[in-house]
C-alpha cells in the first residue's frame, strides 16, 4: 500500500528513497481536492476558501490539492493560482501537506512550480500542457523541465493530451529524483498495470478519474489505494467511510454505501424540486 504524506511529497533523491522505505503500509489516506470559492463577480473569495480549507484539513486526509481540477485551475489566472495556493498554505492545519498546480505551456508550468515553492507548498501536481498534442519525447521534456525547476516532489497527471506510457514514466523516474507520483485520469487498466509492474513502489499512484470512487475497487486490486475525491468536498464523512471500505476489501460496504448515498442524493433533489 502507498501513502502520500509530507515526507513523500517533499522528498527528492536519496531522501525520496528513504521516505519510500520508511512509509508505513497502514498509512493510506484519501486525497482532498477542495473547490475554489468565488464571489458573484467571479473574483476569488479568499475568506470562504480559507474557511473551507480549515474545515477539510481537520479530517484525516493525506493532502489538500489547491487549485486542482475540482478547484478550477483552468479558470484561474496565474496570479489567482498563486493567491489560492498561499491561502491554502496559510490555513491548512499543521501536518497537512498542500500540493500546488502547474500547467499550460512548459515555460508557464516552470514558473508555477517555482512560485509553488516560494509560496510554501509541499508538492506540485503537473497538469497536461495546454491544447497541443505532444509526442512521448515532448511530454518527457515537459516533465523534466518542471522537475528541474523545483526541489518539491512532482506528481504527473496523465490524461487528455498527456497520456504517459510506461516506458516514458520509467525513463522520467530514473532521470528525475523528485518525480514522486503518477495520477491516472484515463482509466486504462492495462497501462496502469504496466506502469505499476515496471516501477513498483518508486512512485505514489493516484486514481484521478472523474468520480474516482466508482473505480476505486478495481484500482485497489492493482495496489492503487488512494484517489482524488471530489465528493470529499461535500460529504467528507461518507467519502472517508467509503475509502476505508475499499481498503478493507469490503465490497458490500463500498458498493452498498455508494448506492445508499446516491439514493439519499436523489431523494434530496426530488424534495427540493417539489418545494419549488
Catalytic residue among 49, 104, 164, 183: 183
How far apart CA 67 and CA 187 sit, in angstroms, is: 23
Angle at 228 between CA 222 and CA 234, to 5 degrees: 135
Residues making up the chain, counted from first to last: 276
- Whether 227 is catalytic is no
Closest among 214, 234, 240, 207 to 61, alpha carbons compared: 240
Q: Is residue 4 within 8 Å of residue 181, measured between CB atoms?
A: yes
Closest among 66, 68, 63 to 30, alpha carbons compared: 63
Catalytic residue among 157, 164, 205, 227: 157
DSSP symbol at 195: H
Q: Is residue 184 within 8 Å of residue 143, measured between CB atoms?
A: no
- Whether 183 is catalytic is yes
Q: Tell me which residues are annotated as active site.
A: 157, 183
Amino acid at each position: 500500500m502507498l501513502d502520500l504524506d509530507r515526507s513523500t511529497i517533499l522528498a527528492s533523491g536519496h531522501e525520496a528513497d528513504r521516505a519510500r522505505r520508511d512509509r508505513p503500509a497502514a498509512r493510506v489516506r484519501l486525497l482532498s481536492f477542495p473547490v475554489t470559492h468565488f464571489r458573484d463577480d467571479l473574483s476569488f473569495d479568499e475568506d470562504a476558501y480559507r474557511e473551507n480549507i480549515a474545515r477539510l484539513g481537520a479530517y484525516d486526509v493525506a493532502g489538500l490539492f489547491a487549485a486542482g481540477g475540482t478547484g478550477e485551475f483552468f479558470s484561474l489566472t496565474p496570479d489567482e493560482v498563486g493567491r489560492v495556493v498561499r491561502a491554502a498554505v496559510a490555513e491548512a492545519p499543521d501536518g497537512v501537506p498542500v500540493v500546488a498546480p502547474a500547467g499550460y505551456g512548459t515555460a508557464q508550468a516552470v514558473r508555477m512550480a517555482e512560485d509553488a515553492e516560494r509560496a510554501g507548498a509541499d508538492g506540485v501536481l503537473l497538469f497536461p500542457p495546454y491544447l497541443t498534442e505532444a509526442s512521448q519525447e515532448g511530454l518527457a521534456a515537459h516533465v523534466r523541465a518542471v522537475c528541474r525547476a523545483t526541489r518539491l516532489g512532482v506528481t504527473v497527471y496523465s490524461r487528455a493530451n498527456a497520456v504517459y506510457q510506461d516506458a516514458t514514466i520509467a525513463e522520467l523516474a530514473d532521470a528525475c529524483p523528485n518525480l514522486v507520483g503518477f495520477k491516472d485520469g484515463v482509466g486504462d487498466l492495462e497501462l496502469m498495470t504496466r506502469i505499476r509492474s515496471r516501477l513498483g513502489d518508486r512512485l505514489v499512484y493516484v486514481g484521478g478519474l472523474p468520480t474516482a470512487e466508482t473505480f476505486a475497487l478495481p484500482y485497489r486490486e492493482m495496489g492503487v489505494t488512494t484517489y482524488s475525491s471530489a465528493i470529499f468536498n461535500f460529504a467528507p464523512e461518507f467519502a472517508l467511510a467509503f475509502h476505508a471500505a475499499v481498503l478493507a476489501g469490503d465490497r458490500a460496504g463500498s458498493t452498498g454505501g455508494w448506492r445508499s448515498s446516491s439514493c439519499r442524493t436523489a431523494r434530496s433533489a426530488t424534495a427540493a424540486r417539489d418545494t419549488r
